Amino acid sequence: MSEHVNNTETEGWRTFRKNALRNRNFLIGICLTGFVLAIALISFIWTPFDTTKLVISDRLNAPDLTHLLGTDHFGRDILSMVMVGARNSIAVALLAVGIGIAIGVPLGCWGAAKRGFIDEILMRSSDIIFAFPALLSAVMITAIFGPSATNAIIAIGIFNIPVFARVARGAALTIWSREYILAARASGKGAVRITREHILPNITNILVVQGTIQFSLGILAEAGLSYVGLGTQPPDVSWGRMLNEAQTMMAIAPHMAIIPGIAIIVTVLGLNLLGDGLRDLLDPRLRRER
C-alpha cells in the first residue's frame, strides 16, 4: 500500500514537472522570482558597499565600473541598496502574508464548517476590514504607534486576513458538499478533524496561488508605505524610500529612481507570472482545458 502511494506521488511530481517545463508564465515567473530571492539572500552575507556609509565625494555618480548602478545623493552604492532593499521588502511582504494565512484561513474554514450566524458575522467583518485599505490602516496604526516596518507588516497583514478568509471559505464550501465529506461525517468525524484531514489538503493549491498573488501585492504595499514615510525607516533600506529620495533628483540623477523602479517591476512581474503559472498547473479544470 505504501509503495503504491509513493509511486502515485512520484508520478504526480513527474507530471507536474513536465507541465511546468511547458508553461511559459511559470518558467519566467520562477526565474525572475528566484533571481530576486537570490539577491536578497546574498545581501545577508555580502554587498559591494556598506549601505549605511555616506561618501559625499561620490554623490550622484552615474553607473561605472566601481559603482555598477551608480550612487545616490549621499554617495551610497545603489546596487548595495537594491540588494538590501530586496531583503527588507520581501521580509515585510512575507510576514504580512503569513499573518493573513495564519488568521484568515482558520476563520474561513470555521465559517464554512459552521455556516449560519457565525459565517455571516465573519463575512460582514471582512467587509468592514475591506473598507479600510492597507494604506489607511497604516496611517491609523502609525498615528498611534509611530512609523516603522513592524507597523507596516501589521497593516498589510490585517488587510490580508479577509482575503484569505474569503478564499478559504469559498474553496472549503465546495469541498464540504462532496460525497466523501458526507461519509466522513456519517462515520462520526467532527468538523475540526474533517477540516484538518480533508478540507485543508484539498484547498492548499488555491491558497498557494493566492499567497503568491498577495505576496506581490505586499511588495507593492510596502513600497507605497515606505514612499510616504510610513514603512521601513532609516537607516534600513526600502525600495519605496529610494523612490521617495529620488523624486527631487530626476533631472540630474535619473538612475536613482529608475533602478529601484525596475527592481519593483521585476519582482512584482515575476510573482504575478509565477502565480498565474501555478494556477494553470494546479487547477485541474484548466489542465483539462489545455
Give the tens place of pLDDT for each residue, 152-202. Answer: 898 889 889 999 999 999 889 888 888 888 888 888 888 888 888 888 988
Band the pLDDT of 134: cuts 50, 70, 90. low
Q: What is the pLDDT of residue 238?
A: 92
Q: Which of 208, 209, 218 is nearest to 92 (CA)?
A: 218
The span from the CA of 13 to the CA of 29, in Å, is: 19
Say whether pLDDT at 219 is over 90: yes
Report, as an integer, the average pLDDT of 60-80: 91
Band the pLDDT of 17: cuts 50, 70, 90. confident
Band the pLDDT of 285: cuts 50, 70, 90. low
Q: What percent of the chain has a predicted confidence (pLDDT) above 70?
A: 91
Q: Which of 239, 178, 231, 235 is nearest to 203 (CA)?
A: 178
Say whether pLDDT at 1 is over 50: no
Query: Domains of the chain by range and CATH?
Result: 26-51+78-289 (1.10.3720.10)
The span from the CA of 173 to the CA of 229, in Å, is: 41
Q: Which of 3, 82, 73 is nearest to 47 (CA)?
A: 82
The beta-carbon contacts of 44-48 under 8 Å, at least 24 apart in sequence, are 44/87, 47/77, 47/79, 47/80, 47/83, 47/84, 48/77, 48/79, 48/80
The span from the CA of 157 to the CA of 217, in Å, is: 11
Looking at mean pLDDT, say which of 99-103, 130-134, 167-171 comes out highest: 99-103
Q: What is the pLDDT of residue 195?
A: 87
Provide the sign of the torsion angle of the four alpha carbons 89, 93, 96, 98, taken in this order. negative
Q: In whole angstroms, what separates CA 93 from the centre of its chain? A: 5
Q: Provide the total of helices (H) and of strands (E) in the chain, helices listed first.
A: 12, 0
Q: What is the pLDDT of residue 2?
A: 43
Q: Which of 160, 163, 162, 194 is nearest to 180 (CA)?
A: 194
Whether the CB-CB separation of 60 and 72 falls below 8 Å is answered with: yes
Report, as an integer, the average pLDDT of 229-242: 88
DSSP string spanning 64-130?
A: -SSSTT-B-TT--BHHHHHHHHHHHHHHHHHHHHHHHHHHHHHHHHHHHHH-HHHHHHHHHHHHHHH
Say whether pLDDT at 286 is over 60: no
